[in-house]
């Protein structure tokens, strides 16, 4: 059991931000990553479709004996976490990216928090509901920023086009006075610096990657599941081949990566 990999999935490159943090915090663990590039973006899909995709991907990750299935996608966390836990909790530990961030924010006592994410995540109201449950007096401003995922997946980062789009979204008056901004999409850490700059680095920009990885470490440790074998093998799968995925994956995991196309939808 200890040697089994940590399964991680997202619609595309976004979950690599989480996979990267996992490898930094747990370098002795093997990971198996699935990017569902055939169905990207998830943020525009219905909750039912995302639940269906997430269920099949989880089965795929379990075929590789994943001891943990980490939903490295906010849209899937908001739509499918409960159903995945219900269906697979006896086969693997299921972890989402929203609850750990909500727990973290609870320790920080912010008065006004902004959340940006896909249409699916924002319309689900998951962050707002969960934050309010823990900290009823916190004001939560939620804003869908649907252009950011296609922009990132198309490689528009660190340039004038992405700066203009980010500025157009974040200059929304409702966000005035926020103390923290949750990056409620795992793609967004790729442009975290550009986002922080819009707020003159005065707002704490919170992303899930490191927070969730520390939770994974704690859970593995508690369950005596940390890999102590010294054998590490990382594998990356996508459902549709894109050169951009490979480029970003190499940016995060310097050098060669073991990337294959998995035909799980045919
Ligand atoms: N990175 C995902 C998220 O956290 C999915 C983005 C998308 O495919 O729309 O929501």
Instruction: State the pLDDT at residue 247.
Output: 84
**Residue nearest (by alpha carbon) to ligand 1 atom 8:** 41
Q: Looking at residue 168, what is its pLDDT?
A: 97
Report CA(191)–ligand 1 centroid distance (Å). Answer: 14
Among 37, 73, 190, the mutation site with the greatest number of ligand 1 atoms within 8 A of its Cβ is 73
What integer pLDDT is reported at residue 85 of this predicted model? 98
**What SS3 class is residue 246?**
helix
- Which parts of the chain have pLDDT scores under 50? none
Place of tokens 């549709």: 240
Q: For residue 242, what pLDDT is reported?
A: 82
Distance CA 6, CA 237 (A): 14
CB-CB contact of 39 with 57 (8 Å) = no
Active site residue 114: no
**Which residue is catalytic, options 18, 73, 95, 180?**
73
CA distance 95 to 212: 8
Q: What pLDDT does 258 receive? A: 84
Residue 253 confidence (pLDDT)? 85
- Where are the domain boundaries for CATH 3.40.50.1860 in the chain? 6-96+210-261, 99-208
Give residue 28's pLDDT.
97
**Which tokens hold the place of 227?**
């890999």
What is the domain class of 6-96+210-261 according to CATH? Answer: alpha beta
Please provide the CATH number assigned to the domain covering 99-208: 3.40.50.1860
Q: Show the tokens assigned to 15.
A: 């979950």
């Amino acid at each position: 059991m200890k040697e089994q990999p940590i399964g991680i999935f997202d619609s595309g490159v976004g979950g690599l931000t989480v996979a990267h943090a996992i490898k930094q915090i747990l370098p002795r663990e093997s990971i198996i990553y699935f990017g569902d590039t055939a169905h990207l973006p998830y943020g525009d899909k219905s909750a039912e479709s995302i639940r269906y995709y997430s269920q099949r991907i989880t089965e795929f990750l379990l075929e590789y004996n994943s001891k943990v299935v980490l939903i490295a996608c906010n849209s899937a966390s908001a739509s499918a976490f409960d159903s995945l836990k219900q269906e697979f909790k006896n086969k693997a530990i299921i972890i989402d990216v929203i609850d750990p961030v909500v727990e973290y924010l609870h320790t920080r006592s912010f008065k006004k928090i902004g959340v940006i994410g896909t249409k699916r995540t924002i319309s689900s109201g998951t962050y707002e509901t969960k934050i309010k449950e823990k900290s009823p007096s916190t004001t939560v401003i939620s804003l869908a920023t649907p252009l950011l995922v296609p922009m990132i997946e198309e490689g528009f980062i660190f340039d004038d086009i992405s700066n203009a789009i980010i500025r157009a979204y974040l200059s929304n008056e409702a966000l005035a006075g926020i103390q923290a901004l949750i990056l409620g999409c795992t793609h967004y850490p790729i442009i975290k610096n550009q986002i922080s700059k819009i707020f003159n680095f005065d707002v704490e920009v919170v992303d899930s990657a490191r927070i969730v990885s520390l939770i994974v470490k704690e859970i593995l440790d508690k369950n005596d599941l940390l890999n102590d074998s010294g054998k590490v093998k990382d594998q990356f799968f996508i459902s549709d081949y894109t050169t951009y995925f490979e480029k970003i994956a190499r940016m995060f995991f310097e050098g060669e990566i073991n990337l294959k196309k998995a035909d799980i939808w045919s």
